[in-house]
Amino acid sequence: MNRLALVDDDDMLREVLAGNLRQAGFEVDVFADPMAALAEPPIADLLILDWKMPGMSGLELLAALRARGVESPALFFTSHNDTIYEEAALSQGAVDFIDKTRSFAILLKRIELILSHGGVLEDPAPERTDGNLSLSPSHHGASWRGEKVDLTFGEYRVVELLARAGRDVTYREIYDALRGENFVAGDGPDGFRANVRALIKRIREKFLAIDPEFDAIANYPGFGYRWTNDNG
């Protein structure tokens, strides 16, 4: 029987979720706040962490537990569903990030997938290769001509969007993929375009560091970008 450690300061949610997980066949240790988890570091097959809690965030708690030798895989189950939080969690070693609005059935399936793969969530989609570009959805990694490109999680999402689209992708679509639908930034209704241009510039620089002749991201002024397969 797998043991889970649930850390969440929402009393009602914690009680209901722990009960559902126990009915699903798990042993569950519950902690009402991060300090309780630090006082008695959990021994568990999987940590389920909230993000916003008194004293410290779930991300800070994960770092503190790692410093104390707790190596259990961590899943964030939180209402902080913006991509910026997901990116931060995954970049710090979390294996999954799930919005609390998702059903228990989905959470349960993700837990089972993590545990069945030894604490590493495997994406059922195989590595995808388009010419010189290789994408690994399970690790959010990309390589160009066989060499790893050092992309952040957000940058990877944008490259994947462009490469999979097979068409011109608008500035709005690119920004929404990074920050969430209809998130507005910058001055005016189109202020987000400056953010997208800066992002694409950073992505291009990372590919150019590997291949000085890289030109697979084509710009369509006033509209957006397209991934091309012209690099031979």
Same domain? 219 vs 176: yes
Is the overall model pTM greater than 0.75, yes or no? no
Same domain? 111 vs 31: yes
In a domain, 165, yes or no: yes
Beta carbons within 8 Å of 20's beta carbon, 6+ residues apart: 104, 108
Same domain? 11 vs 111: yes
Same domain? 132 vs 94: no
Structure confidence by residue, pLDDT tens digits, 18-54? 999 999 999 999 999 999 999 999 999 999 999 999 9
Same domain? 187 vs 82: no
Span 170-191, average pLDDT: 67
Q: Give the total number of structural domains in the chain.
A: 2
pLDDT band at 232 (very low <50, low <70, confident <90, very high): very low
- The pLDDT of residue 94: 86
Same domain? 39 vs 144: no
Nearest to 3 by CA among 52, 43, 55: 43
In a domain, 53, yes or no: yes
pLDDT at 2 over 80: yes
Same domain? 133 vs 81: no
Given 81, 116, 151, which residue is the final one in a domain?
Answer: 116
In a domain, 121, yes or no: no
Beta bridge partners of 135: 128, 142
Residue numbers of the domain that contains 181: 128-227
In a domain, 232, yes or no: no
Here the CATH number for the domain that contains residue 165 is 1.10.10.10
Same domain? 51 vs 105: yes
Same domain? 14 vs 109: yes
In a domain, 122, yes or no: no
Same domain? 64 vs 141: no
Same domain? 94 vs 191: no
In a domain, 10, yes or no: yes
Given 65, 92, 116, which residue is the final one in a domain?
Answer: 116
Here the CATH number for the domain that contains residue 48 is 3.40.50.2300
Given 116, 150, 168, which residue is the final one in a domain?
Answer: 116
Structure confidence by residue, pLDDT tens digits, 117-175? 765 554 445 567 778 999 887 667 889 999 989 887 778 888 999 998 889 999 988 88
In a domain, 19, yes or no: yes
Same domain? 170 vs 84: no
